[in-house]
């Protein structure tokens, strides 16, 4: 999906929405703080879009005026979404609370920090949390909103595929998980997904995780021996979900690609380019650095804390040699990152 708003003159807002489907009729939902205002079908011809074969009719543009959106000029909280997906296309500037900065927060846990995102999106003109629910084209479009000076993006992205944007104005932030804790969290989440589909997992995630969800569906999480046997017998499609996910997320462009020892150094290099890096063992320090970066009161930055039940499972995993073999690269990466933090070679790279 491609989209942008290239003009907002108060009484006139113009943009486009090119849907994923060749024959789909794009529609936008216009709303403001008081609620939905109108659903409008895109009816402006973009001949280049039609000529290139990107859309059947080329009717992908939209134009908002006082005629179809009464009081448009005075709707300071106006925002526009794609009707089909709910994707935010545009929001008018937030004054005076807007943070004029481009931030990408890399989510490293399978269960995302939704409460943190909920607080952060309140301060940015354009915000797209859980961006990994969408396809690569849509993700790239969000990064390429050149006219926006206030952007917040978050999600479980393969960092290597988007590292160029760290050199194009985006400030990277991430809270790293602890390897055994993340492994326990993933196993517990996969088991739960067999009965309840979490809202934070998109269709692509459910497809890629389907084998692991089925495999762990009957596993007794209180039986350490059973967990060990399941890990030993796991087929490749199940193993890849648990194999050093943090190293693979930072160093591998393909989420299905296993990591190697060489990837640890690459992941370390990428992490060093982030504006703020935190660790789940010290969320207070992470909140403090994030608050300083964004000039926010750290008391209003909610950070998801470690779950006691998952912590207990993580402790049991530490006794299993097979569990260690799954996350060897992450354990090495985690050691060096924590060493850098403890010795003062901080990953907070701001002057």
**What tens-digit pLDDT sequence spans the chain (351 residues)?**
899 999 999 999 999 999 989 999 999 999 999 999 999 999 999 999 999 999 999 999 999 999 999 999 999 999 999 999 999 999 999 988 899 999 999 999 999 999 999 999 999 999 999 999 888 999 999 999 988 999 999 999 999 999 999 999 999 999 999 999 999 999 999 999 989 888 788 788 888 899 999 999 999 999 999 999 999 999 999 999 999 999 999 999 998 899 999 999 999 999 999 999 999 998 989 999 999 999 998 777 888 778 999 999 999 999 999 999 999 999 999 999 999 888 765 444 333
Q: Give the model's pLDDT for residue 346.
A: 42
Instruction: Looking at the structure, give the CATH architecture of the domain made up of residues 1-92.
Output: Sandwich (2.60)
Which residues make Cβ contacts (< 8 Å) with residue 240, sequence separation at least 6?
Answer: 256, 258
Asked if residue 152 has a cis previous peptide bond (ω within 30° of 0), the answer is no
Q: Do strands 151-155 and 102-106 pair parallel, antiparallel, or not at all (unpaired)?
A: parallel
**Which regions of the chain carry the CATH code 3.40.50?**
93-351
pTM of the predicted protein model: 0.91
**Cβ-count burial of 1 within 10 angstroms (0-12 exposed, 13-18 middle, 19+ buried)?**
buried
Q: How is the beta sheet containing 102-106 ordered, strand by strand?
A: 126-128, 151-155, 102-106, 170-176, 276-279
Longest dimension (CA), the chain: 68
Q: Do strands 102-106 and 170-176 pair parallel, antiparallel, or not at all (unpaired)?
A: parallel
Q: Give the model's pLDDT for residue 261.
A: 92
Which residues make Cβ contacts (< 8 Å) with residue 29, sequence separation at least 6?
Answer: 36, 38, 39, 40, 80, 81, 82, 83
**Nearest of 263, 302, 252 to residue 121 by alpha carbon:** 302
The count of other CB atoms within 10 Å of the CB of residue 188 is: 20
CA distance 27 to 86: 11
**Which regions of the chain carry the CATH code 2.60.40?**
1-92
Cite the DSSP H helix spans in the chain.
Answer: 47-51, 114-120, 136-143, 159-162, 179-193, 203-216, 224-233, 236-242, 245-251, 261-272, 283-294, 308-317, 321-326, 328-343
Q: Are 227 and 274 in contact (CB under 8 A)?
A: no
Cα–Cα–Cα angle for 262, 263, 268, nearest 5°? 110
CATH code for the part of the protein at 93-351: 3.40.50
CA distance 232 to 208: 20
Q: Give the model's pLDDT for residue 315.
A: 97
Q: Give the model's pLDDT for residue 350.
A: 39
Q: Give the model's pLDDT for residue 200.
A: 82
């Amino acid at each position: 999906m491609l989209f942008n708003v290239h003009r907002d003159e108060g009484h006139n807002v113009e943009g486009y929405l090119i849907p994923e489907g060749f024959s789909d009729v794009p529609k936008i939902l216009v709303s403001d703080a008081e609620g939905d205002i109108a659903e409008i079908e895109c009816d402006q011809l973009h001949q280049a879009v039609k000529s290139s074969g990107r859309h059947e009719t080329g009717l992908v543009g939209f134009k908002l005026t006082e005629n179809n959106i009464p009081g448009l000029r005075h709707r300071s909280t106006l925002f526009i979404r794609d009707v089909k997906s709910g994707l935010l296309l545009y929001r008018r500037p937030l004054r005076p609370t807007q943070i004029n900065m481009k931030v990408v927060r890399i989510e490293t846990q399978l269960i995302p920090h939704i409460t943190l995102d909920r607080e952060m999106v309140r301060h940015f003109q354009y915000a797209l949390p859980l961006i990994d629910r969408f396809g690569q084209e849509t993700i790239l479009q969000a990064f390429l909103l050149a006219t926006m000076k206030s952007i917040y993006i978050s999600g479980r992205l393969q960092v290597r595929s988007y590292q160029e944007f760290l050199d194009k104005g985006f400030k990277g932030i991430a809270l790293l998980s602890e390897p055994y804790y993340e492994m326990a969290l993933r196993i517990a989440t996969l088991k739960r997904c067999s009965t309840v589909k979490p809202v934070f997992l998109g269709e692509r995630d459910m497809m890629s995780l389907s084998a692991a969800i089925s495999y762990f569906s009957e596993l007794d999480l209180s039986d350490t021996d059973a967990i060990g046997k399941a890990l030993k017998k796991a087929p490749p499609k199940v193993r890849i979900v648990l194999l050093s996910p943090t190293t693979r997320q930072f160093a591998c462009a393909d989420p299905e690609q296993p990591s190697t020892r060489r990837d640890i150094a690459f992941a370390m290099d990428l992490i060093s380019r982030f504006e703020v890096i935190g660790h789940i063992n010290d969320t207070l320090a992470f909140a403090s650095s994030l608050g300083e970066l964004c000039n926010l009161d750290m008391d209003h930055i909610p950070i998801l804390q470690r779950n006691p039940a998952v912590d207990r499972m993580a402790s049991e995993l530490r006794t299993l040699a097979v569990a260690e073999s799954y996350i060897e690269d992450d354990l090495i990466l985690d050691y060096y990152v924590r060493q850098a933090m403890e010795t003062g070679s901080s990953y907070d790279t701001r002057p």
